[in-house]
């Protein structure tokens, strides 16, 4: 069953109810590399709750979307995506207020665009997820994300559209930070919700075209956030108001991300490559807006 454009564009849900707590926040922080040094007093507040827990902003990516009543859901009826062939494309998170260390939330989701890159070239699905606090109704964050469905192109749609990419400065970076990942990083990060076997099962990874399991794209994204948060944002997560990225190539667990950053006032541009594979850019067109 191929993508039916009209059918997919009507998909979405309102009032998805969910909650998270301090354990979820700390597990995510460990999953993106916080707390490597348990004596680091600047990182300890992200992984230890006793002195006021801080939340890594990109934790927003893994907050469970929860469930909505059937009357508030519209699932595709005529379309089917090959999820074994899906990888992350781009992501933008806009933060309306700092994330509390525990919260009950409600989320509304809708499809913004579906781009047809052609038969054998895949499709790009652009979705929006808006999340607010359940109790007071305050907006917490809005995520616009694109996923690349490698096996679902050629349904007759337009190849153009989607969010514009941030253009990086042409000068040398103002700051470079190396962020390690562990060999078991994907196994740890999977506990924050994404249990896709692509990131843990060697046989499955080979079946879909990779030599071994790859790191979650959103783990690399969170690691880049760690790089900005620990340097230009001075470990103050409330300063990060927006965080964008384009996923360009996979990272393998155990590799080191080299995050280049450019500072222009409150605008931070960033890009990440892999130290062990010189010249391999894995995250591109990155943008962080600081308060």
The residues carrying an active-site annotation are 194, 199, 214, 217
Helix/strand/coil for 3:
coil
Helix/strand/coil for 169:
coil
Instruction: Evaluate the CA torsion angle 90, 235, 177, 219 in order and state its sign.
Output: negative
Q: How many CA atoms lie within 13 A of 173 on its CB side?
A: 15
- Which residues does 101 contact at the CB level (< 8 Å), separation at least 6? 21, 22, 25, 49, 53, 54, 55
Rounded to 5 degrees, φ, ψ at 134 are -70, -40
- CA dist 83 and 68 (Å) reads 22
Q: Token pair of 162, please?
A: 């989607």
**Run of H or E residues at 239:** none
Q: What is the largest CA-CA distance in the chain?
A: 56
Other Cβ atoms less than 10 A from the Cβ of 94: the count is 16
- Tell me the CA end-to-end span of the chain in Å, nearest whole number: 46
Q: Token pair of 16, please?
A: 């998805």
């Amino acid at each position: 069953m191929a993508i039916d454009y009209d059918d997919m564009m009507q998909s979405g849900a309102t009032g998805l109810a969910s909650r998270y707590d301090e354990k979820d926040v700390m597990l995510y922080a460990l999953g993106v590399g916080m707390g490597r040094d348990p004596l680091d007093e600047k990182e300890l507040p992200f992984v230890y709750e006793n002195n006021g827990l801080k939340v890594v902003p990109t934790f927003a990516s893994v907050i469970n979307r929860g469930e909505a009543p059937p009357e508030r859901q519209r699932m595709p009826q005529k379309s089917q995506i090959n999820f074994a062939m899906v990888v992350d494309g781009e992501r933008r998170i806009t933060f309306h207020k700092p994330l509390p260390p525990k919260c009950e939330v409600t989320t509304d989701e809708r499809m913004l665009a579906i781009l047809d890159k052609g038969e054998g070239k895949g499709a790009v699905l652009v979705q929006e997820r808006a999340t607010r606090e359940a109790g007071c109704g305050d907006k917490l964050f809005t995520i616009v994300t694109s996923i690349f469905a490698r096996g679902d192109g050629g349904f007759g749609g337009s190849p153009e559209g989607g969010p514009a990419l941030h253009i990086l400065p042409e000068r040398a970076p103002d700051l470079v930070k190396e962020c390690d990942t562990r060999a078991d990083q994907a196994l740890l990060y999977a506990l924050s919700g994404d249990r896709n076997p692509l990131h843990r099962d060697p046989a499955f990874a080979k079946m879909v075209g990779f030599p071994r399991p790859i790191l979650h794209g959103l783990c690399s994204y969170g690691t880049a956030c760690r790089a900005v948060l620990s340097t230009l944002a001075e470990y103050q997560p409330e300063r990060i108001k927006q965080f964008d990225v384009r996923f360009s190539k996979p990272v393998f667990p155990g590799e080191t991300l080299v995050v280049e950053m450019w500072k222009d006032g409150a605008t931070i541009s960033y890009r990440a490559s892999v130290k062990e594979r010189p010249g391999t850019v894995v995250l591109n067109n990155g943008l962080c807006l600081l308060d």
